[in-house]
Amino acid sequence: KPLLEVRHLKKYFGLGGKKELKAVDDVSFVIYKGETFGIVGESGCGKTTCGRTCIGVYDATGGEVLYDGKDIRKQTKQERKEFTRKVQMIFQDPYSSLDPRLKVHDIIAEGMQIHHLVSSKKEEETMVQRLLRQVGLNPEHAGRYVHEFSGGQRQRIGIARALAVDPEFLLCDEPISALDVSVQAQIINLLVRLQKERGLTSVFIAHDLSMVRHISDRVGVMYLGKIVELADSQELYSHPMHPYTQALLSAIPLPKPGKMASVNRIHLQGEPPSPVSPPKGCRFCTRCIHASKQCHQEEPELMETVPGHFTACHLYKKK
């Protein structure tokens, strides 16, 4: 059952005069209850803006977002408040997303207080301690300040804060990219476990395809404000169809160095064009080794090329 339906979503930022940065440009997808949906792409492709516009942090320039069947722009005040409880974010940077003036207890309890989820100080204390245990921290940490913790521990505090209001949807915006490699897998494992235990639906935004593979049920690949490929995670990694996805996947090092020689590495030409003036036709045409005349003139539509596998590329026909 769909929980979040995104239809022709656009988010443009005005740059003065007639110039606009088209961060998200006509993107559609559905996220089903209980699944983890990965959004991947290079820096500046619009993945963070897309995620934030989906949960109402940014107002959309066009299109619509339905949460549980209701347009998020048409929510009543009460529905909006409930939406801000149900939908939580895990931020990229645990260093700047936690208030250094507050003790860990107060950071975690703030949401509970706003949404009246506890009726006494004792209950609040018990809840905070339970959450700290769930994210792998010691309940005694509640009385400390965030500067006393490592990056991985701070991200655990951020996760406990998000879970404190009993959400049903988590937007994880590059939650491990600011962390040491040694703790990245621990945070991923924690998120996977909590998602299963609590039946959460989540969006996992990352630029690292190898990380998204292990956490996502389905993955959408973004390039210059567009979703260019969307498929079941295993299908996408074993049969990438879009030339951009193929290039990204070919760049992932294999665990056994000796095997690298057998991988057909695809080198992307140049840098992505500016989202202020994207190329005509296919957005990827300036870097694609298969680009034809048609690619420079007609924009390919994201269509189902194999059941459940969507690709925006003129090399493929609709199934």
Smaller CB separation from ligand SF4, 225 or 300: 300
CB neighbourhood size of 260 (10 A): 10
Q: Sign of dihedral through CA atoms 67, 72, 75, 79? A: positive
Among 200, 231, 295, 302, binds ligand SF4 (CB under 6 A): 295
Least distance in angstroms from the C-beta of 284 to ligand SF4: 4
Question: What distance lies between CA 184 and its chain's CA centroid?
Answer: 16
* Site membership for ligand SF4, residue 278 (CB under 6 A): no
* Site membership for ligand SF4, residue 288 (CB under 6 A): yes
Per CB under 6 A, which of residues 38..97 are in contact with ligand SF4?
Answer: none
The contact mask relative to ligand SF4 for 225-244 (x = CB under 6 A, - = no) is -----------------xx-
Smaller CB separation from ligand SF4, 12 or 284: 284
Smaller CB separation from ligand SF4, 82 or 271: 271
Among 284, 302, 309, 310, binds ligand SF4 (CB under 6 A): 284
Least distance in angstroms from the C-beta of 268 to ligand SF4: 11
* Site membership for ligand SF4, residue 313 (CB under 6 A): yes
Least distance in angstroms from the C-beta of 221 to ligand SF4: 11
Binding site for ligand SF4 (CB under 6 A): 242-243, 282, 284-285, 288, 290-291, 295, 300, 313-315
